[in-house]
Amino acid sequence: MIMKIRNYVMENLIIEYKENPYIPLNILLCRNQSLSYYIKNNKNFLNVNDNIYNKFKEYFKLFLRSNCVKQALKENNNYINIIELIDNDDILNKFLNDKYLKSIPLFEFAGSGYTNKDILISFVSGFPFMVYDFDIPVKSEEYDILKVVIIIFNITMKLITTLHEFIIHFLFGYLNYLSDGKISYESPKNDKKIELNDGGLYFENILFGKIYGNLTLNDVLTILNVDSFISKDEFQNNLKKKLELDKFQVKSDFLKFILQEYNLDLKNLKVNPNMYSYMKSNDFGLCIKRDINNILLPFKMP
């Protein structure tokens, strides 16, 4: 493998490699691209091939229109206009392209997404998240499986982030624009049961039954395996179940496509049941640190 040093923040890369020697190198490289290299090459925030990225956007539309999401939206009268928007193909296709949905170099300690409601642009972190408490690979095939598992975890977390940024922050900003300010850009943040500082986290709690910090493999496979007719209660019950890979049935075309793309059979997947990944947020929800030097060290010409 040949890599150009100027394309990476080597100080960060060396530290991460020492702390995470079993994380696949391509994941660490993606996490430590220099800003100039990132801007030039990274428009796909999943860090996968374009076929999977395009399938991701198709699945995201299906997920938005699923019974469980619509049931969650119907729990608050302020969401009624959102349902109309997500049923509109033209609107979804327009706003899921890279003019309005962009990849941003953002580490998880600063958040995983950001939306500017004034100019109607949503950003999702293009850096991969880490996975923890996995069984250390001792064979090359185990190492290859770990690569795929990390990719699947990241696809799921980027889906949650996209949902958070798009369906709540972006669409409420869009409704405010369409209505000339008659509809507030402020999304619901509280009710009698829960009060939060961020509307995306509030909706996340309604839909998933919790606000995500740690994600387990069961969370990942359940969220990537939604069909159009599943109810919110059934969806949340599936999230609470203990994962039994030998009984797990792959239903969604998207999950099937990913597994086929990487030649992975879930029944043969042996993983530590305690393995997890982490989506970190600050006290006010997911946010961007605006000082880029706090995210990437500046590149210095040798």
Q: Give the model's pLDDT for residue 94.
A: 87
Token pair recorded at residue 277: 């990944």
How many DSSP H helices and E strands does the chain contain?
13, 6
Beta carbons within 8 Å of 180's beta carbon, 6+ residues apart: none
Query: 177-202: string of b/e by CB count within 10 Å (b at 16+)?
Result: eeeeeeeebebbbeeeeeebebbbbb
Q: Give the model's pLDDT for residue 188.
A: 78
Report the C-alpha gap between 3 and 220 in whole angstroms.
Answer: 32
In the chain, where are the structural domains located? Answer: 1-41, 45-289
Q: Give the model's pLDDT for residue 292.
A: 42
Length of the chain equals: 302
Q: Give the model's pLDDT for residue 141.
A: 85
pTM, full prediction: 0.87
Token pair recorded at residue 134: 């996995």
Distances (CA, A) of 271 to 131, 168, 170, 275: 12, 34, 37, 7
Write out the DSSP string of 48-73.
S-HHHHHHHHHHHHHHHTSHHHHHHH
Beta carbons within 8 Å of 90's beta carbon, 6+ residues apart: none
Q: Give the model's pLDDT for residue 296.
A: 44
Q: Give the model's pLDDT for residue 298.
A: 43
Q: What does DSSP say about strands 101-104 and 121-125: parallel, antiparallel, or unpaired?
A: parallel
User: How far is Cα of residue 243 from the mean position of the Cα atoms in its chain?
Assistant: 21
Write out the DSSP string of 106-153.
--GGG-SEEEETTTTEEEEE-SPPPEESPPPP-SHHHHHHHHHHHHHH
Q: Give the model's pLDDT for residue 192.
A: 64
* Pick from 238, 224, 226: nearest CA to 159: 224
* Pick from 227, 232, 262, 25: nearest CA to 141: 262
Token pair recorded at residue 113: 């997404």
List the chain pLDDT tens, one digit each, 302 residues: 567 888 888 888 898 899 888 898 889 999 889 888 888 888 899 999 999 999 999 999 999 999 999 999 998 888 989 999 999 998 899 889 989 999 988 766 566 888 888 889 999 989 888 888 888 888 888 888 888 999 999 999 999 999 989 988 899 999 888 888 888 888 877 776 677 777 888 898 899 998 887 889 999 999 999 988 899 999 999 999 888 888 889 999 999 999 999 998 887 777 776 788 876 544 333 333 334 444 444 444 44
